[in-house]
Amino acid sequence: MATKPSKAITVELSESAALALTVSVASAVANESKARAETLEVCKVAIPKLHSAGVVIGRLSKKENKTCKYAQAFYDAMLSAGLAVKTVNNYLTTFRDAVRTGIVPKDWNKARKGKKNCQKHR
């Protein structure tokens, strides 16, 4: 049995449970990697096309007739996918910049820069 010491509690896992968790993490990481690759492929085509067509991604507005339909469509699609509002706003800014420049972003969440990649379990 594997035992992991913790400040608050001791977690005991059987070897099979530890293996199952390891496979679960590996599967999640693989899925994220595949999703990133798919995102890149879609963006390599869509962003330059939008840019070349002169599409401008405007702003969201509380006034119904002032909101950019492209920004609203992007925002609504991201929210319906279950992302947090703050994250969606960050992604929308990145999308707006990408379409304006025609350059596919390497990182969609520019607000994340400078933050640690790994969260500690408390």
**Residue pLDDT, tens place only, 22-61:** 999 999 999 999 999 999 999 999 999 999 999 999 999 8
| Mean predicted confidence (pLDDT) in 4-29 | 84
SS3 (DSSP) at 104: coil
Whether 37 is in a domain gets the answer yes
pLDDT reported for residue 113: 65
The model's pTM: 0.74
Instruction: Name the nearest CA neighbour of 95 among 86, 84, 104.
Output: 104
pLDDT reported for residue 61: 87
Q: Which domain holds residue 74?
A: 12-111
Task: State the sign of the Cα–Cα–Cα–Cα dihedral 50, 54, 59, 61.
Answer: negative
pLDDT at 115 over 80: no
Whether 79 is in a domain gets the answer yes
Domain count, the chain: 1
Whether 116 is in a domain gets the answer no
Whether 4 is in a domain gets the answer no
Whether 24 is in a domain gets the answer yes
Strand blocks (E) in 1-122: 2-4, 11-13
